[in-house]
Amino acid sequence: MKDKETAVVPEPLSVPQAADTRMDPPSRPNLLAAVGSHRPARIGGVGLAVIVLLSLVGPLLWGEEPGTTRLDRVYASPSFTHPFGTDQLGRDLFVRVLHGGRISLLTGLTATLMATIVGVLYGLLSGMARRWADLLMMQLLDALLSIPVLLLVIVSQAFGRPSFWRVIVVIGLAGWMGTARVVRTECRRWMQADFIKAAIASGTTPIGLVTRHLLPNILAPLIVVMTVGVGQAILLESTLSFLNLGVPMTLPSWGNLLGNGMSNALTGAWWTVLFPGVMIVLTVLAINLVGDGLRDAVDPKTRGILQ
C-alpha cells in the first residue's frame, strides 16, 4: 500500500494594500500638561502669573493711589519705602508700574481677542470658499498687510482725541491678518479630510461643520497664535504710548511711564526708565516662553516627545 501523498495547498497570494491616506479626527494634545512638562514654558507661566497677580492685587495692598503727588519726595531714589523710587511729581513708581500693568495687560488681551475674532471669521470664510474666492481673499489680505501700523494710528488720530478703546481697536485691526492666515491654512487642510467630506455628504450645515468639526481641530494652533499675539499687542501698545500715540497720558501704562521716564533720566533719575522697561521685557518674555511650550505641544514633530 503506497503511502498517501499529502497535498500541499498553496497559500493565497497577499495583495499589497494601498497606503491609508485618510485623515481621521486626530487626538488633540493636552496643552496644559504639555506646558507643565516644558521647563521654559513652566518658568514663563509662573513668571506671568506673578506679574498678573502683582498688577491686580499690588496697588490695593500698597495703600496709595497711582496719581498721588507729593513735592517733598521728588526724584526719590529706590528705597524700602519706595522700591521703584518716585518721579518728578513725587508719585510712587512702584504703584504706578503695577497699576500700569493692568492697563497694558488689558490692552493686550482685549486687542488680541478682537484680532482673533476677526481673523477666525475671515480665515474660515477663505478656507471654506471656492478656489477663486480664496485666492481673491488672500490677495486682499496681502494688501492689508502692507499697510503700516503707524499709518493706522495717525489716521485714527483724525477722528478725535486719543482714547483707550481707540488704541485697542487700532492694535486689533493691525493684528488679525496673521490669525486669518493660520486659520485659513488649517481650514483648507482639514477640508480634505475624509470625516469632513463625510459630514458634508451627510448634509451638515456650514455652521455645524465649523462648530463641530473645524473649530475643535484648529483650536490648538489658534491658542498658540493668541498667546504670542498678546505679547506682540503689549509691545505695540508700549511703543505707541512711548511715542505719545497710544493711550492718554493720564493713564499710567508701561509705555507712558517709559516715555515719561526718558526725560527724567536726563536728570539722573535712571529708575524712572529702568523699572517700566524691565516689566515690559519680563512680561513679553514670559508670554513668549509659554507660547513656545504651546507651539511644541501642537507641532507634530515634537508632540510624541512631550507625550
Per-residue pLDDT of the chain (307 residues; tens, 9 = 90+): 444 444 444 554 444 444 344 445 555 556 666 666 778 888 988 999 999 999 999 888 887 888 888 888 888 889 888 899 898 888 999 999 999 999 999 999 999 999 999 999 999 999 998 899 999 999 999 888 888 887 887 787 777 677 888 889 889 988 899 899 999 998 998 888 888 888 888 888 888 888 888 888 888 888 889 988 999 999 998 988 888 888 888 888 898 998 888 878 778 889 999 999 999 999 999 999 888 888 777 665 544 433 3
Q: What pTM did the predictor assign?
A: 0.81
Cβ pair 34, 300 in contact under 8 A: no
| Range 97-113 burial, b when 16+ CB lie within 10 A, else e | bbbbbbbbbbbbbbbbb
Spatial CA neighbour of 86 closest among 58, 64, 119, 110: 64
Q: Which domains does the chain have, with CATH numbers?
A: 53-63+81-306 (1.10.3720.10)
Cβ pair 86, 73 in contact under 8 A: yes
Separation CA 58–CA 53 (nearest Å) = 7
Rg (CA), the chain: 27
Cβ pair 293, 34 in contact under 8 A: yes
